Structure 1
Amino acid sequence: MPRFSRKGITKIFFAETIAATSYIPTRTELTDATNITKQISAVEGFALENQEIETPDMESTFDSKIPGSDTAADSSITFYEDDTNSELEETLAKGTNGFIVILRKGDVPASNSMDVYPVRVASQSAAITVDNEAAKWTVRFSITDTPALNAPVPATTP
């Protein structure tokens, strides 16, 4: 099985709108989305977690479990800060609703490797440090609905 590094392959976008209730964007919606890949320093979360339910019984000393509710992991993206342009900070202002679209294997049409998370920006915060590193800022996202996982990347228009 060939392996690959996400760096240089994975693409991440912020889409203000996606019309489909399935949260799968059209090629036009993906093209109109803001490509935030190059500004990203780190990504946290953007995964589903299951809150299993313990189901012990009197017959066994083993405590079995069954799947419970799904929840989204705490999710955030850390960006490199631009000292002359604040367009991305304005796009991702606190309270903004939209979609984080992750093309895990790159922009490969028909590949079932697209994850779409409906989000609301919960907070923005600058990282202030005296360390010898690039200036960064972090956006925390609330996942507002069940994401579309392993969706097909939309086809390109001929």
Structure 2
Amino acid sequence: MATTQQRFMRRGTTVFYFLKTIAAADNVPTRAELAATNATNLSTAISDVEGWSLENTPIDTPDMASTFATTIPGEDKADNSSFTFYEDMVADAIETLLSKGVVGFIVILRKGDIAGSKSMDVFPVRVGSRSPSYSTASEAAKFKVSFGITDEPVLDAAVPTAATGASE
């Protein structure tokens, strides 16, 4: 049985936030937290995205009854994750916000800001490095921020609604 899909392009849809804090112990932000002054929408400054996913390292479980080596799920690990940003010639707001050692949360609304959609991922992070990208090519100046994922991310959380201010 075939299902109907409405496909989309991430660029222009997916929204990326940096939050300094999230009050809930489950690391799911409220609508108020996404709109607060401690939340920064990074989307317009991002040139490139790397990582922001989990990988599982399977464990081999061969036995003497077969030449086929079976596996079981092993530990989960976050990919190396980073953003490449366009550099602002006048201001340094993002460089200051995401300086080395800063801790917080990257919140990704994969399908955009659609209240109730179970498409929000939250990554607890610490900035590992921030460095300029140098090039002789005819392109905009950029810098790269690499993040360490410091705790298990929350995947597929509901995007909070405006009416209740809480995620569902």
Q: Fold match, TM over 0.5?
A: yes
| 2:15 equivalent in structure 1 | 11
C-alpha RMSD of matched pairs (Å): 0.9
Name whichever structure is richer in strand by fraction.
Answer: 1
Paired positions, count? 158
Once the two structures are superposed, residues 3-62 of structure 1 have per-residue CA deviations (whole angstroms, 9 ceiling, x without a partner) of 111111110000000011111001111112100000000000000100110011111100
| 1:1-158 aligned within 5 A | 1-32=5-36, 33-157=39-163
Q: What letter is aligned with 1:119?
A: V
Distance in structure 2 (CA, Å) of the matches to 1:143 and 1:46: 9
Listed as ranges, the gaps of 5+ residues in structure 2 are: none
Specify every segment of 5 or more residues in structure 1 that has no aligned partner in the other structure, as ranges. none
Cα distance in structure 2, aligned partners of 1:30 and 1:21: 16
SS in 1 for 2:73: strand
Instruction: Work out the CA distance in 1 between the residues paired with 2:57 and 2:74.
Output: 5
Report SS of the residue matched to 2:57: strand
- SS of structure 2 residue aligned to 1:30: helix
- So what's the TM-score if we normalise by structure 2? 0.92
SS at match of 1:88: helix
Q: After TM superposition, where is structure 1 displaced by more than 2 Å over at least 4 residues in a row?
A: none
C-alpha distance in structure 2 between counterparts of 1:37 and 1:118, whole Å:
18
In the superposition, the TM-score normalised over structure 1's length comes to: 0.98
Partner amino acid, structure 1, of 2:29 = P
**1:157 CA displacement:** 3.6
